[in-house]
């Protein structure tokens, strides 16, 4: 195994172990820790603005009832996204960011790549063409640094048809049926939870690059790299960054 594979660490929803997920401080912390690849989730607000939040239901991240789809972007921007069940009032005041705000981290940082996960609930609510078009429009100035991803295959097809951004497909199952689909699609990236992978097998090889997520330990990252993973996604950004840095120093 080469250390080159292990340097590709993706901050899954930012440094979400230490900060509320998908918030500006979570992304800022990941960048300060030296991570060059960020992943976030997008839903559209009622008025069609891409907002950075994983669940369309607001309860887990804001402590409030209702859905993203019930609010215009201006209203959502006033809601606290402090994950009160996890952090209490420690991060009171953090807001739900718009995608445009997070894209600001890319200014003057050409080495940063942003993986933008378009969530299925928004696709159902607003339609594939509308959602993908809105995300493509907001990311246009940063197109070379953005990768549009989704577990919804139709959304990825539309992203390819409507724009020139790289695409990634999030696998819901690692099986031969999925393999036929992505071999036909030829996405630049494939995302998969490590728990869905068959134990010990080498990952299917192709022109795509593998991003295996929910990785929280160095031994698991090393094992995945040996099997062909190019990136590992984690919320435990500080711990994984330090572990990989220590590995490189020891080599």
Give how far the C-alpha of residue 66 lies from the chain's centroid of Cα atoms, to the nearest Å. 23
Residue 29 φ/ψ region, left for φ over 0, alpha for ψ in the -120 to 50 degree band, beta for the rest: alpha
CA pair distance 170, 65, nearest whole angstrom: 28
- In sequence order, which residues have a C-beta less than 8 Å from that of residue 176 and are 6 or more positions away? none
Hey, CA dihedral for 187, 225, 237, 109, is it positive or negative?
A: negative
* 12-34 core/surface letters (b: 16 or more CB in 10 A; e: else): bbbbbbbbbbbbbebbebbbebe
Instruction: Decide if 167 contacts 148 (C-beta within 8 A).
Output: yes
Name the residue with tokens 């918030």: 23
Active site residues: 12, 54
Do 48 and 130 contact (CB within 8 A), yes or no? yes
Tell the residue number behind the tokens 């069940």, with chain if given: 85
Other beta carbons within 10 angstroms of residue 105's beta carbon come to 18
Beta strands 50-52 and 37-44 are antiparallel
């Amino acid at each position: 195994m080469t250390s080159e594979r292990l340097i590709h660490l993706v901050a899954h929803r930012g440094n979400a172990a230490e900060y509320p997920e998908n918030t500006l401080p979570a992304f800022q912390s990941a960048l300060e820790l030296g991570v060059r690849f960020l992943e976030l989730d997008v839903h559209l607000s009622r008025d069609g603005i891409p907002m950075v939040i994983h669940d369309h239901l607001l309860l887990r991240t804001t402590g409030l009832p209702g859905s993203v789809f019930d609010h215009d972007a201006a209203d959502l921007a006033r809601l606290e996204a402090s994950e009160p069940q996890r952090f209490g009032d420690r991060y009171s005041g953090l807001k739900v960011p718009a995608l445009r705000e997070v894209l600001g981290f890319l200014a003057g940082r050409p080495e940063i790549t942003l993986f933008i996960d378009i969530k299925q609930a928004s696709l159902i609510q607003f339609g594939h063409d509308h959602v993908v078009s809105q995300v493509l429009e907001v990311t246009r100035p940063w197109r070379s640094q953005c990768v549009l991803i989704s577990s919804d295959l139709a959304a990825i097809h539309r992203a390819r048809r409507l724009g020139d951004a790289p695409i990634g497909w999030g696998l819901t199952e690692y099986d031969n049926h999925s393999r036929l689909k992505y071999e036909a699609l030829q996405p630049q990236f494939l995302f998969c939870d490590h728990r869905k992978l068959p134990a010990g097998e080498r990952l299917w090889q192709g022109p795509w690059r593998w991003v295996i997520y929910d990785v929280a330990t160095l031994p698991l990252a090393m094992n995945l790299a040996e099997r062909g993973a190019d990136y590992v996604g984690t919320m435990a950004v500080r711990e994984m960054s330090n572990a990989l840095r220590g590995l490189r120093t020891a080599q």
